[in-house]
Structure 1
C-alpha cells in the first residue's frame, strides 16, 4: 500500500493529468445552456473534502462573482434542505462511501434538485445513486488518510469554477487562459516545493516529536490548509491538534495557550500578512515553538520557518501549501510507530455505519 508521502510525490503527475483532461472531466457538464440560471454555489463535504473546499473557496468566490458556501452533508440533509432555485449543488466524497454524502445526494434528488457528485471511484455507493457524476481525474487513493485526493479536489473545484465563469461570461477567454497559465506554473514548481518541505520536516522533526498539542493558523485560502493540518495530525499522529482561521483564533482560543504548545502559521503572503505578523509577535512572548510556512518568502524569517518560494496569487496557494503539513503528519506518525495501513478501531464503521 502506498503511504501518505508516496501520494504527495504523485501530486504533480495527478495535477498535470487533471489539467490535460479538464474539458472532458468538467466542460461538457457546465456548458452555457446548463448553467444559465446558476447564481450561487453550495458545496457539501466533510473531513478532508471540506478542508479542500475551504482551500478553493476564496478563488471560487472571486472568479465566479457569486455567493459560494460550504455545508456539512449531515447537517444539510437533516436541517438545512432549503435550496433555492439557481443554486449549483456539488457534493464531494473522494472514496464515494460516505454515508452522509450518499444520503444527502439521495434527498436532494428526491426533491428534484440537481446535484453534481465529485468522486474518484466510479463504482462507489455515491456514484451508483448519483444522477450527475463528476470524476476527480485521478485513481482511487489506496491510503485511507488521503493527501493527493485532498489536493486534487482543490484543483477540480478551481477548474469547475473557471469553466462556469467563462461560460457565463464572468471572465473572458483571455482571463481564463491567464489564470490557467498561473495554475500550470504553480504545478510546475511543485517538485521543488516537495523538496523544500521534505528538508524542513527532516530538520524540525525531533522538535515536533515532543509536541503534545499542535495548532495551525491560517487565513484566506490557507484557512483550508490549517483545517487539513488539524485533520491529518489528529488522524495520523494522534495528538491534540487544532486548525483555526486567523481572526477566529484571536477571538478566544489564544486564551488557552500553554508555553509548550507548537504553533504553525500558514502564510499565503496575502492581504492579512501584517495582521498575522502582529499575532506572531504576541505568541513568541508566550510560546516556545512558533513556526511559519510561507507560500513565497518571509518578511521576518525565523530560523525554523519554511519558505516555499512560489510567487503566485494568494488564492492559488492552497494548491501547494499543504505539502509540508502532510509530510509532517506522516513522518510524525512513523516516529510514533502508528500503523496507518490498518484501522486503529476496526469496529468503528461497523457500529456507526459512517461508511457504506
Structure 2
C-alpha cells in the first residue's frame, strides 16, 4: 500500500532522477527566449504554495529579482494585471485545482505567458496551459502530498538556476557548484529520514497529547513551517500554525499557552540568534519547545539534529521530511485513516477540484 511514508522514502530516488534529467524536464523553458524579467510571480495554493515559499528566496537570490507567491483565486478574480516583463508560474501538483486552472485560463485569454508545473501531463491544468513542466516524480496516489511538495521545491530551484545561467547571472562554475550541493543533499536524505523517524518515535507520547502545535521558521524555512501547519491540520486534525519568526513575535506570542507545543525549524542562517532570543523568552512560559536543526548544535537532547551543513536557502529540500514523518506517524498512532477521505462530499459540493 502506497502511503505518506512510502512517498517520503521515495524522495531520494526522485531527487536523483530530477537532477539527472533536469535539462529534459526544463527543455521548453531553456529553449525559450527570456526577457529581462522584473520579477517572478508564482501562483499556488495549499502545499504547492508552501513549496513555493520554500523555494522563493533561493530563486530570488539566483535571479537577482523579487519573487512573489500569490493565491490564484485572489489574483484571477481581483488582481490580475499582466506584465510582459514578469515570469508567471502556476503550480498544481495533481493538476486539478480549480482556482489555479481558472487563473491559467485568464492569463492565456489575455495573451500572457505562464508556465504550469504539475506531476500529471494529462491533467486539466496541463491541457489548459500552453507551456507545461512535468515535476518528474510520477503521480502521487495520496491526497496528503509529501513527495509532490518536495519535488516542487527542487524543480523551482532548478528552474531558477537554469534561467540564471542563461542570463549570465551566474557562472558555469557557480551553476555546477549548486548542482553538486543538490546532489549532496540528495545523498543525505536516507539519514534525514532515519533521524526524523527516531525523533518522532521518541516524542510520540507528548505529541499525542498536543492540542495546539506552532511551527516557527524564518527565511526559506518559513515554507517548511507553513507545510507543518497544513499537514498536521490535515492528518492529525488538531490546531496547527506555521509562522514566520518575526510574524510570531509581533502578536501571536501574546496568545500563547503553557500547553502549546512549539517546534522551531532552524536552517541555521541569518536569523538564528533572533530565534534563540524568542526561545529564551518562551522557556519561561511553555514546557514543550523543540528545535529541528539543519546541521548540528542545539542545547537540548530533545532537539533534532539533521547533520547537514548547506546553504540555508536549500534546507527546505530536507527539513520538511521530519515534519511529514511527524504527521504520518502521529496520525497513525491516533488511528486516523488517511487512505479514505474524511469528507468525501467536499469536492462534489465546492468544485474545488476539476
Length-normalised TM-score, structure 2: 0.99
- What is the distance in 1 between the residues matched to 2:218 and 2:82? 28
Cα displacement string for residues 126-151 of structure 1 (whole angstroms, at most 9, x for unaligned residues): 11111111100111000110001100
Contact kept, 8 Å, 1:229 with 1:325, in 2: the verdict is: yes
Q: How many residues align?
A: 354
Look up the match of 1:179: 178
Contact kept, 8 Å, 1:55 with 1:223, in 2: the verdict is: yes
Contact kept, 8 Å, 2:28 with 2:131, in 1: the verdict is: no
Cα displacement string for residues 311-356 of structure 1 (whole angstroms, at most 9, x for unaligned residues): 1111110100000000001111111111111111110000000000
- What is the distance in 2 between the residues matched to 1:213 and 1:259? 11
Equivalent of residue 352 in structure 1, options 331, 350, 353 = 350
Cα displacement string for residues 199-226 of structure 1 (whole angstroms, at most 9, x for unaligned residues): 1111011110000000000001110000
- What is the distance in 1 between the residues matched to 2:261 and 2:66? 35
Contact kept, 8 Å, 1:284 with 1:290, in 2: the verdict is: yes
Look up the match of 1:45: 44
Look up the match of 2:2: 2
Q: Give unpaired runs (5+ residues) of structure 1.
A: none
Contact kept, 8 Å, 1:27 with 1:163, in 2: the verdict is: no
- What is the distance in 2 between the residues matched to 1:121 and 1:84? 28
| Structure 1 stretches of 4+ moved >2 Å | 36-39
SS of residue paired to 2:168: coil
Q: C-alpha displacement at 1:159, in angstroms?
A: 0.1
- What is the distance in 2 between the residues matched to 1:285 and 1:83? 50
Matched, 1:94 2:105: no
Contact kept, 8 Å, 1:36 with 1:168, in 2: the verdict is: no
Q: C-alpha displacement at 1:30, in angstroms?
A: 2.7
Look up the match of 1:318: 316
- What is the distance in 1 between the residues matched to 2:331 and 2:340? 13
Cα displacement string for residues 257-299 of structure 1 (whole angstroms, at most 9, x for unaligned residues): 011110000000100000000000111110010000000012x
Q: C-alpha displacement at 1:36, in angstroms?
A: 3.0
Q: Superposed, which structure 2 residues align to 1:264-343 within 5 Å?
A: 264-298=263-297, 300-343=298-341
Which range is displaced more, 333-342 or 246-255? Answer: 333-342
Matched, 1:197 2:196: yes
SS of residue paired to 2:40: strand
Q: C-alpha displacement at 1:83, in angstroms?
A: 2.2
Length-normalised TM-score, structure 1: 0.98
- What is the distance in 1 between the residues matched to 2:330 and 2:187? 28
- What is the distance in 2 between the residues matched to 1:339 and 1:83? 43
Q: Superposed, which structure 2 residues align to 1:221-240 within 5 Å?
A: 221-240=220-239
- What is the distance in 2 between the residues matched to 1:37 and 1:302? 48
Q: Superposed, which structure 2 residues align to 1:111-122 within 5 Å?
A: 111-122=110-121
Contact kept, 8 Å, 2:213 with 2:239, in 1: the verdict is: yes
- What is the distance in 1 between the residues matched to 2:202 and 2:343? 32
- What is the distance in 1 between the residues matched to 2:253 and 2:60? 29
Q: C-alpha displacement at 1:40, in angstroms?
A: 1.4
Q: CA RMSD of the aligned region, Å?
A: 0.9
Q: Give unpaired runs (5+ residues) of structure 2.
A: none
SS of residue paired to 2:26: helix
Contact kept, 8 Å, 1:96 with 1:127, in 2: the verdict is: yes
Matched, 1:133 2:146: no
